[in-house]
Structure 1
Amino acid sequence: MRHRFSFLRISLATLSIFAFTFATSHAEHEDKIQILLLGDSSTAAGMPKVVAPKELRFEDVIRLLLAAEADLPPTNVINLGLSGEFIRGLIDSGRYEAKVSKLPGLDYIFIRYGLNDDSKRENFEANFPKDYHELLAKLRTDHPQAMLIPMTVIPFADEKTSTKINNLIRAVASEEKLTLFDIYPLYAVALKRGPDMLNYRAYPLSKIPDNLRSIAQRYVNAEADPKVVVLDNRLDAIFGHLPGWFRDRHPNIAGYNVIATETAKFLAPVIRERRAKK
């Protein structure tokens, strides 16, 4: 199946607004468990929504997997992930107050930050935990009934950087006495089936050899810096030899399905346990 992206002019920021509007405008809060996803681009799932708009969205897969458990009530999954976001940015930009603070009836809030914090937050190792504690305090105040669930980052950065980030997240979760959802090793196991099977390819058109541009052109998006974008390995045989072809580690649909599956596995027994205590 051929995909032509040249007509698409949807920025990730616009896409995030659209995703939020879609989720909240269709949310039915009565008799449904409300689940919120907070995080960066690895939560937002922006590129698959642009490239394959007819495919199930990341948040919908979580909802449907939970619905497959016959003893669980229906859920509504709201994805407020945003490409490039870090905790300080979420708070200081006003996005937390505008988009997160007033959402009604939240039951579970998954929090997955750290990758952008590491690159954007000065004095990261000291300030990231402080920012995380601040966000958790805000969430507790605004959503006192919600279970707060810190998550480790996926294997996106190198192992040393990932370990540094995840150790800080584990420490925050321990200090806050919160249950940690450790997605990192689960995603890493899935990657062993193929190191590039869970990430899409996004490669600058300017780096494609001139004699191959006719093949690449039909897969180019319309951003200011045009890239060849595919969600799978269909062009690996043609362009896989180019330096950096596999560099982008953002999840593709298969990657998000791994995260969605593990999220549902994590959450289903938690929901049962909390319901049993009521």
Structure 2
Amino acid sequence: MALCSGAPASAESLSLPDMGKLTATGGVSQLEGAGGGGITPWALITGYGSSDSYGGNAHYTQVSTQDYTLKTYGLSLGIADRVEISVAKQEFTGSKAPLNQLDIKQDIIGIKLKLSGDAVIDQDKLMPQIAIGAMYKRNNGIGGLGALGVTNVKQLGATDDHGIDYYVAATKLFLDQSLLLNGTVRMTKANQMGILGFGGDKHDNYKPMFEASAAYMFTRKLVGGVEYRMKPRNLSVDNEKDYYDVFLAYFPTKNVSVTAAYATLGDITIFNPTTQRGWYLSVQIGN
């Protein structure tokens, strides 16, 4: 079986998943549902389907800090190691007054297209695998703050309750060195990934945000690394900060992965002006 993309696959050859890619080369499901690291998408296509097949997975992720919890769950599909489609739902809740009743939900639909390069096959080239992607996000309103008269992110200063992130990602895998490097540039107006809406009273224009990951493969089944994600600062009520994490991902089989991380998410709203730090745990199953 081919490990990566090549000639277009026929409808017959796509009838069954072939699990043809190397372990861990589909990445894990990041917080918005795309294949990649924990907080940033990579150019890799989710799942283990080769260019002659397809693969998909389901994931559940939870991040718990001092004052907040973020839960994300969803499905994703990789087709012919070329196209990725994902759907995810996020739920953000508070645990400390005055936001202890806070409950915000957001729906995300993503698509990714591999443009060039191949992270596995192109070991003799400096060219990385490159992909472009987009994420449509819709915030479903604010729950738990009705007593304060706040039910929509626009009341916090956001311009919109929906928006689209656009990104280009470049991923290079050095098999001899057991090292993966990724850089992503995202054009976005999302506040806290869209949980607090899009655009704001300070800024309401698309900005390029840089994201990066570095991962080391200790074994074929154990990967550790670090990630960084720049964030826009559009809202007066949200002194938004960049995200960081240190992660460890375990792939006992190609059907299961478990990712644990310690994340720093910065300040989230001026109502609880404390740097939010906590544990990230994600489970992914699929093929």
Report which of the two has the higher share of strand. Answer: 2
For the criterion TM > 0.5, the same-fold answer is: no
- Sort the TM-score into its range (normalised by shorter chain): 0.3 to 0.5
Report which of the two has the higher share of helix. Answer: 1
Give TM-score, length-normalised by structure 1. 0.32
The one of the two structures with greater contact order (alpha-carbon pairs below 8 A, sep at least 6) is 1
Give TM-score, length-normalised by structure 2. 0.32
